[in-house]
Structures are given as C-alpha cells and as structure tokens.
C-alpha cells in the first residue's frame, strides 16, 4: 500500500465515467492501493460538478467520452469552479487534438489511454496527492510563521 495521507484529513478523488464497471474497478484499485484516500464517483459530468460543489475534492479523474457533457467539458468547467484541484483525463480514443486541448484549455495534469495500466494510475495519482498534501503543509507552515512574525512586530 502506498502511503499518501500523513497527518490531516483523508484525501478525496472524484472518479467520473459513465461505465459503472470502470468506476467500480478504479475505485477499488485506488482505495486498496493508496492509504488515506477516499474515492467518490459520478456517472456523468453534471453529477460530478454537483459532487465538486458539495465536498472538498483533491483530484478529478474523468473519462472523455460520456453522454451529455464529455470529460473535456467537465474539466474545463471544473477548472473554473475549483482551479486548485488537479485534473486527469482518460480516453479509449487517443487523439492528439483532444490531448492538446485538454492540456491547454482544461489544464489537465495527466492524460491516460484505455486500456488503463493500473500500476501507472496508482503511481501517478499517488504522486499528485502527495504533492498536494506537501503543498498544503508548506502553506500551513508559512501561515504560522507569518502569524508569529506579526505577533512579534506588534
């Protein structure tokens, strides 16, 4: 098991795919392989945006091809609503244009092609979550230091 969480809250990964078997498989994979990670799922872009509004999310991983709102559209909207949350796109139909648009417009952090490589997904998700946790710890330490400096200046 890869340790992601240290001190603090459990990190949440939002998985989005219209195929329930993929959602279940990825959810099981991440929760069993990454310590301190909670997975929430959504089967559509609209449902995912609702989840994003309702709870704190540390990472969004979505499929590209879904009915209604596709994964690219979802990630663009998520980037507007929660720009600090890393975003990853999965697709069974790799296309350079989609990849470039996702990187440039939705500011994705990673692009996976199906069939998925489970060890690679665990590695990349674990690294992103660890980096996010480390940044949060640095931010808290900086805030404490600034607070102490302000107290001493007064």
Q: Is residue 4 part of a domain?
A: no
Q: Is residue 24 part of a domain?
A: yes
Counted domains in the chain:
1
Indicate which CATH number applies to the domain containing 83: 3.40.50.2300
Contact by Cβ (8 Å): 16, 74: yes
- Of the candidates 124, 83, 89, 90, the residue with the CA atom closest to the CA atom of residue 108: 89
Q: Is residue 59 part of a domain?
A: yes
In tens, the pLDDT along 102-124 reads 666 667 778 888 899 999 999 99
In tens, the pLDDT along 74-97 reads 999 999 999 999 999 998 877 767
Q: What is the pTM of this model?
A: 0.81
At 4 the pLDDT is: 45
At 106 the pLDDT is: 65
Q: Is residue 3 part of a domain?
A: no
In tens, the pLDDT along 31-71 reads 999 999 999 999 999 999 999 999 999 999 999 999 999 99
Q: Is residue 1 part of a domain?
A: no
Tell me the C-alpha to C-alpha distance, in Å, between residue 51 and each of 3, 4, 57, 140, 147: 25, 22, 8, 26, 34
Distance CA 25, CA 122 (A): 12
Domain of residue 105 covers 9-153
At 104 the pLDDT is: 65
Tell me the C-alpha to C-alpha distance, in Å, between residue 49 and each of 39, 41, 62, 73: 15, 11, 12, 11
Q: Is residue 2 part of a domain?
A: no
pLDDT category, 2, cuts 50, 70, 90? very low
At 29 the pLDDT is: 97
Contact by Cβ (8 Å): 63, 16: yes
At 21 the pLDDT is: 95
């Amino acid at each position: 098991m890869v340790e992601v969480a240290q001190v603090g809250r459990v990190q949440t990964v939002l998985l989005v795919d219209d195929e329930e078997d993929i959602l279940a498989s990825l959810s099981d994979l991440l929760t069993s392989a990454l310590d301190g990670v909670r997975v929430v799922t959504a089967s559509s872009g609209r449902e995912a945006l609702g989840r994003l509004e309702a709870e704190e999310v540390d990472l969004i991983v979505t499929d590209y091809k879904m009915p209604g709102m596709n994964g690219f559209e979802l990630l663009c909207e998520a980037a507007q609503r929660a720009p600090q949350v890393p975003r990853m796109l999965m697709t069974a139909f790799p296309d350079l244009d989609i990849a470039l648009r996702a990187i440039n417009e939705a500011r994705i952090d990673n692009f996976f092609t199906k069939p998925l490589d489970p060890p690679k997904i665990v590695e990349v998700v674990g690294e992103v979550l660890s980096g996010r946790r480390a940044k949060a710890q640095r931010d808290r330490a900086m805030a404490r230091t600034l607070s102490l400096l302000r107290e001493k200046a007064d």
